[in-house]
């Protein structure tokens, strides 16, 4: 049978498409929320409810059960449609388990105490009302700020648009001037985030499973220590016969040495070097990256640890660049 004969059968509707036998096909593998988020690198805090990664929390904001709906228009008007269950996840810099007590005078003049989820607080711009989720029913209510008895206990509250901006920076994991401005206004909702340079140091050691004094300091600074609040000691201890003088010398040598990375030349196309630099310098624009790959020499990175610099140097040299590490000029 030729092509046109097949086409005629398809147009006339006489063709049948083979479907897999449902009795023999394997069912789709279902994974839990914990399995999904753990596979993405998140740590489970509350089983099936809350997860944490760095300085950001992920939590189940709301769920809607499966339901039926009658279609009101289109070719399926009047037909009953099955709407599947839906889970909406929220992201916040505030632990979803933190609560705040709000004293409120209702319209009858009665004093009520609401237990609200701190991270759920939000306020529309130029509005005297705040919105929050209250416990134990976990429903969202609006409160008039003029009737709150203890307003001094409430932190500065961002609007929904500002909360989305904060969550965007938290997902990325680095700060910039816009995020610093948000943090200065809403310190409770916008936690301290590392700069792009500090993020590179942490990523460098995370990918290699290594450690350094700089990394330890960053972990303490950003609250990324172990659960007991301490930093794990290095896995390798002193060898037998290791005297205190040698230990003192090793300690001095282990101190991070700060260097600059200078690109002195580049052979061939700039595509691969630009791709690496864009990955390492996420806060720089594409045109700023291109400026580093012309009119050599150019300072690509300033005041970074020698360990991190060696990793960056290796990556750039594999793309055809010639790179030098120099101590910063005081």
Q: pLDDT at position 114, please?
A: 92
What average pLDDT does range 133-142 have in this prediction? 87
Give residue-wise pLDDT tens across range 46-82. Answer: 888 889 887 788 888 778 888 888 888 878 888 888 8
Give residue-wise pLDDT tens across range 180-224. Answer: 888 888 888 888 888 877 878 888 887 888 888 888 888 777 766
Q: Which residue would you say has higher pLDDT here, 124 or 103?
A: 103
CA dist 191 → 119, 167, 173, 184 (Å): 12, 11, 11, 10
Residues 6+ apart with CB under 8 A from 142: 129, 130, 131
Q: Are 173 and 55 in contact (CB under 8 A)?
A: yes
What proportion of the chain, given as a percentage, has pLDDT over 70?
80
CA dist 282 → 35, 90, 182, 277 (Å): 30, 25, 20, 8
Q: Where in the chain is the domain with CATH 3.30.1390.10?
A: 258-326
Q: How far apart are CA 59 and CA 320, in angstroms?
A: 45
41 DSSP 8-state letter: T
Q: Give the angle 224-162-133 at the CA atoms, nearest 5°.
A: 80
Q: pLDDT at position 227, please?
A: 36
Looking at the domain that runs over 258-326, which CATH code has it been given?
Answer: 3.30.1390.10
Task: Quote the longest CA-to-CA distance of the chain.
Answer: 91
Q: pLDDT at position 8, please?
A: 54
Q: Are 26 and 19 in contact (CB under 8 A)?
A: no
Cis omega (within 30 of 0) on the bond before 88? Answer: no
Residues 6+ apart with CB under 8 A from 273: 263, 266, 293, 316, 319, 320, 321
């Amino acid at each position: 049978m030729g092509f046109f004969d097949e086409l005629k059968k398809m147009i006339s509707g006489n063709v049948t498409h083979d479907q897999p036998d449902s009795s023999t096909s394997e069912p789709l593998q279902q994974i839990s929320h914990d399995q999904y988020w753990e596979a993405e690198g998140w740590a489970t805090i509350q089983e099936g409810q809350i997860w944490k990664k760095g300085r950001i929390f992920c939590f189940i904001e709301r769920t809607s059960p499966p339901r039926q709906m009658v279609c009101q228009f289109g070719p399926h008007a009047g037909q009953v449609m099955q709407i599947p269950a839906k889970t909406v996840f929220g992201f916040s810099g505030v632990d979803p388990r933190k609560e705040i007590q709000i004293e409120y005078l209702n319209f009858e003049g009665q004093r009520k105490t609401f237990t609200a989820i701190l991270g759920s607080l939000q306020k529309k711009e130029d509005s005297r009302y705040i919105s929050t989720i209250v416990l134990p029913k976990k429903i969202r209510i609006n409160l008039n700020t003029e009737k709150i008895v203890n307003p001094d206990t409430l932190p500065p509250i961002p609007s929904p648009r500002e909360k989305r901006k904060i969550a965007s920076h938290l997902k990325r994991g680095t700060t910039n001037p816009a995020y610093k401005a948000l943090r200065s206004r809403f310190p409770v909702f916008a936690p301290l985030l590392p700069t792009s340079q500090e993020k590179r140091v942490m990523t460098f050691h995370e990918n290699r499973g290594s450690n350094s004094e700089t990394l330890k300091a960053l972990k303490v600074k950003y609250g990324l220590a172990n659960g007991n609040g301490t930093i794990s000691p290095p896995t390798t201890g002193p060898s037998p016969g290791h005297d205190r003088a040698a230990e003192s010398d090793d300690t001095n040598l282990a101190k991070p040495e700060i260097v600059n990375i200078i690109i002195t030349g580049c052979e061939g196309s700039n595509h691969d070097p630009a791709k690496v630099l864009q990955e390492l310098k996420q806060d720089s624009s594409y045109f700023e990256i291109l400026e580093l790959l012309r009119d050599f020499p150019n300072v690509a990175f300033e005041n970074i640890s020698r360990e991190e610099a060696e990793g960056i140097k290796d990556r750039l040299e594999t793309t055809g660049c010639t790179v030098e590490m120099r101590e910063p000029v005081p």
